[in-house]
Amino acid sequence: MKVLIVHAHPEPQSFTAALRDLARETLEGQGHEVQVSDLYAMNWNPVASAADFTARANPDYLVYALEQREGVKGGQLAADIQAELDKLLWADLLILNFPLYWFSVPAMLKGWIDRVLVSGVCYGGKRFYDQGGLAGKKALVSLTLGGREHMFGAGAIHGPLEDMLRPLLRGTLAYVGMDVLKPFVAWHVPYISHEAREDFLRAYQQRLQGLEREQPLAFPRLEQFDERLYPLSS
């Protein structure tokens, strides 16, 4: 299996970085090929702009998704985008590894998503969900956060963590066709003991060793809808 880990944390000694390193070591130990994109170390540019194209189909008005499509056709994507897109297309499994910021992903990772999941390759027209451009690939989200587990869920102070992750799990990863696995979550990380962190690392290693046997989360399939994308009657 070929694995791409996209890591977004500004501190190289963070526990999030420890999860990245453990994933690489564990998966390589199983004989898998692993590449890592450490966005902060790469000084990744998260800002989608006209500078993402070496030439423009419409130089007078920027419609970013349309320029992505034309950029793919003409080989006119910026070099940093093309390099990450090549890694993504190479991979069988994508791991997004990050701390939760304001109920969402860090800006650095959001910018990677905006710029690398290009229209015309990853999605476009009715190429989404099970018909998406990345169908056949798997995705795993591994994240850390400061909150305690009891603070998340139905009736809890912050509500379900799944609600916060919905734009990522459904609106991004499942949308482009990937089989999305259950996220791995390390709770209350800045405040717990070394032993508790070791427990999370052991649990993550166990998950990683069994990923190929896991069933993905359920998301819509186009066969459940008609040509206008109204749901078919059951």
Alpha helices for 31-96 (secondary structure H): 64-74, 79-90
Nearest to 2, CA basis, from 123, 109, 138: 138
Helix or strand or coil: residue 48? Answer: coil
pLDDT value of residue 233 = 78
**pLDDT tier for residue 234 given thresholds of 50, 70 and 90:** low
Q: What's the pLDDT tens digit per position in 97-151?
A: 999 999 999 999 999 999 999 999 999 988 999 999 999 999 999 999 999 999 9
**What is the pTM for the complete model shown?**
0.95
Nearest to 21, CA basis, from 118, 142, 119, 127: 142
Instruction: Please check the confidence at residue 208 and state whether its pLDDT lies above 90.
Output: yes
Q: What's the pLDDT tens digit per position in 3-12?
A: 999 999 999 9
Q: What's the pLDDT tens digit per position in 159-202?
A: 999 999 999 999 999 999 999 999 999 999 999 999 999 999 99
- Contact of 100 with 141, CB cutoff 8 Å: no
* Domain ranges, ordered by start, for the chain: 2-224
Instruction: Output the six-digit token pair for 136.
Output: 């056949």
CATH topology of domain 2-224: Rossmann fold (3.40.50)
- Contact of 103 with 143, CB cutoff 8 Å: no
Share of the chain above pLDDT 70, in %: 100
